[in-house]
Amino acid sequence: MSLNRKLKYSLAINEALSQMMEKNPEVFLLGQGVKSAWYVGNTCQGLLEKFGEKRVIDTPLSENAITAIAAGSAIVGMRPVVAHPRMDFMVLGSDAVINQIANWSYMFGGESFVPIVIWAIINRKGEQGAQHSQALQSTFAHIPGLKVVMPSGPNSAKGLLISAIKDDNPVLFIDNRELYDSEDFVPEEIYETKIGKAVIKKQGSRATVVAISHMVGQVLSAVEDIDVEVIDLLSIKPWDKDLVFESVKKTGRLIVVDEAWNDFGIAAEIIASVAEKGLLKSAPRRLCLPNAPAPSAESLEKEYYLNKEKIKYAVQSAVRSL
């Protein structure tokens, strides 16, 4: 694969959608604002002009209805990508997701599939407040029958979205608008990033740091001069237990960084799974958000969200205490 060009995250999403829609006429896009370059952060720019209104469908503000319509089309052989520009309001489509999409293949003995991608976008900061700032990956990862992925940059965004569209099972593809201006080397051709596989972004020996989505770049920047191993989880469900276990077996210590709430989250699940294996030499650490709704005031947002300085301090403290 050629890696001779850099691409922004938003354009990598656009390219994945365009290439898969060109390759497979059963792939189509629907959701709120998909015809608006602004509404979904340029990720859908030009798709309406290229594929027309029958394959790029701008919908009313009715999350449950559009998710159910996408599910129905998937059951009869289409491959919809349904966009939720704010993950918070995807909750209004939870009936279709949790009660129908996640259970369909199981209820029909594996003879019927729902090849649907539910594309949810996390929006944060900018004084957007509690109802527009929620990262709900652990909520949906708890549901049997759903796969959940969270890319960390343009390369993994394109590869994971292509893998999700090709998958015969329902996949929740969660991206973060804070990544949209990030750049990375992205191949021009179609390629897949395997769902369920994590990658080591930095080798180290004193501790394992597992990071998710936007936090991967923040962690790498924070620990560049600290001897820790950094794992980009990429896939939340299934998650790469083998790679994480192997790393912790080597380091004996674990820190999980996930910019979601602290309680009952992905970080807790990873730590519990590692603890059950008896691989830890010291107490593990979670670095997550406070158990409180997101504030609206900019001054409070600075205290609420994670950043490079907070991550570096936490990792240094953990390593010093060894």
Residues annotated as catalytic are 63, 132
CA pair distance 268, 221, nearest whole angstrom: 24
Residues 6+ apart with CB under 8 A from 121: 40, 41, 83, 84, 85, 86, 87, 174, 175, 176, 177
Q: How far is CA 162 from CA 174, 182, 186, 189, 231, in A?
A: 13, 19, 13, 11, 22
Which run of H or of E encompasses 57? strand 56-58
The answer to whether 200 and 230 have CB atoms below 8 angstroms apart is yes
What number of helices (H) and strands (E) belong to the chain? 13, 14
Picking from 198, 265, 272, 267, the residue whose alpha carbon sits closest to that of residue 235 is 198
Q: Are strands 147-149 and 171-176 parallel, antiparallel or unpaired?
A: parallel
- Sheet of strand 147-149: strand arrangement: 56-58, 27-31, 79-84, 117-122, 171-176, 147-149, 235-237
Which spans in 167-307 are helix H?
214-222, 241-251, 266-276, 298-304
Picking from 306, 305, 301, the residue whose alpha carbon sits closest to that of residue 128 is 301
- Please spell the DSSP secondary structure of 215-255, one letter per residue: HHHHHHHHSTTS--EEEE--EEES--HHHHHHHHHHH--EE
Q: Residues 294, 32, 154, 126: is their CA dihedral positive or negative?
A: negative
Q: At what angle do helices 266-276 and 241-251 cross, to 10 degrees?
A: 60
